[in-house]
Amino acid sequence: MDNNINTFCCLHGIEPPLNRERITSGRNSEVWRLFNPKGQWILKNYHQNPGDLRDRLGTEFRFLSFLMEHKLTCVPKPIGMDTQRHCALYSFLPGERPRQITERHIRRAACFIREINLYRHEESAKRLPLASDSCFSVRDHLDLVNKRIEGLSLSLTNLEIQNKANSFVHEQLIPAWENLKKRITEGLSSVEINSPMDRTSWILSPSDFGFHNTLEHGEELYFFDFEYAGWDDPAKLICDFVCQPEIPVNRTHAELFVNELINDFPEGESFIRRVRLLLPGHRLKWCCILLNEFLPVNLQRRLHAGRNDKNLLSEQLEKAKDYFNRHNIN
């Protein structure tokens, strides 16, 4: 164990000797399980890149500190962070990712969102940042998908696999997005597209929220990974929860999730109409996210997190194509 890490752990009451085991299921950060006869902890080393200035360490640690302040125990406890070394210590959560999603999982996930937002009017909540890629108008949602599409079309090079991805982007994703944009904006005035939501309609969102970031232990469901958390549009939270491809939810479960939350969100029926309007666009956005590894900044982050399969790009392209076809995005 690196002496600097030992010193960092000692500062927070975790004394060596410590063993460590790398956890490679994450996609953004280097994660280690630290353990000795006295317990287990998580050490997270956050990737840094000049091309991506998001403060994942600060965002996650502050968000979890806010949840701890309000006694939420279904998340990792933040123990300490070192901004110079870009790392943080958290409590260890037991369990495994859910294998089969049931109504119980959906209700618990919705309950977690409700619990977070019980405290959104407090001063400590107001100091939390905006979620990564937050959206507060229809225009923001459209611009977000545009940004994803443009990033892919500008970044692909002449390698064989990237040529294949380039063809997929230009022959399928871009035409589909042009059609979707037209459908989304049909019947909406310029004011409806560009007017920002009222601040009182914002919610606190874990962002990247789905069962890929949960652990199940007996009857307990634990939530983790808050690197992108903050203030956002509830419609975007719903869209991402429904669209997330790794551990997908079916249509019945998606409707249950919405119904569990509708009375707790400020806009009620209004945000449901926004979900229905914007969901196809977010489906296409997730096709782009599945191609993240084709962007140099994102590929470096995956490698940092331990995802170095030699067929990574081919696998991600096939996942994106399958997702596009399965959801009939056009």
Q: Is residue 6 part of a domain?
A: no
Residues 113 and 253 both lie in one domain: yes
Residue 119: pLDDT over 60 = yes
Residue ending a domain, choose from 32, 64, 91: 91
d(CA 132, CA 243): 17
Verify that 306 and 224 share a domain, yes or no: yes
Mean pLDDT is lowest, of 20-24, 26-30, 126-130, 299-303, for: 299-303
Query: What pLDDT does 96 receive?
Result: 95
Say if residue 329's pLDDT is above 90. no
Q: Domain check: are 169 and 247 in the same one?
A: yes
Residue 296 within any structural domain of the chain: yes
Q: What pLDDT is stored for residue 152 in this prediction?
A: 86
Residue 110 lies in a domain: yes
Whether residues 197 and 321 share a domain: the answer is yes
Asked if residue 263 belongs to a domain, the reply is: yes
Kindly indicate the confidence band of residue 192, based on its pLDDT and cuts at 50, 70 and 90. very high
Contacts for 98-105 with beta carbons within 8 Å, 24 or more apart? 98/211, 98/214, 98/216, 98/221, 98/247, 101/211, 101/247, 101/249, 101/250, 101/253, 103/253, 103/256, 105/211, 105/214, 105/216, 105/221
Residue 10 lies in a domain: no
Whether residues 34 and 152 share a domain: the answer is no
Cα dihedral 49/30/309/40 (nearest 10) = -170
Structural domain that includes position 272: 103-326
Q: What is the pLDDT of residue 69?
A: 95
Q: How many domains does the chain have?
A: 2
- Where a domain ends, among 68, 91, 114? 91
Q: For 134-169, write each residue's pLDDT tens digit.
A: 999 999 999 999 999 998 876 555 578 888 999 999
Instruction: Specify the CATH number for the domain of residue 74.
Output: 3.30.200.20
pLDDT for 249-296, tens place per residue?
A: 999 999 999 999 988 876 777 888 899 999 999 999 999 999 988 886
Report how far residue 264's alpha carbon sits from residue 255's, in angstroms, rounded to the nearest whole number. 15
pLDDT of residue 189: 94
Give the integer Cα–Cα distance in Å for 113 and 271. 15
Supply the CATH number for residue 318's domain. 3.90.1200.10
| Domain final residue, candidates 34, 65, 91 | 91
**Looking at the DSSP assignment, which residues form a beta bridge with residue 231?**
130, 204
Say yes or no to pLDDT of 132 above 90: yes
pTM: 0.91
pLDDT in tens, 53-80: 789 999 999 999 999 999 999 999 999 9
Same domain, 113 and 252: yes
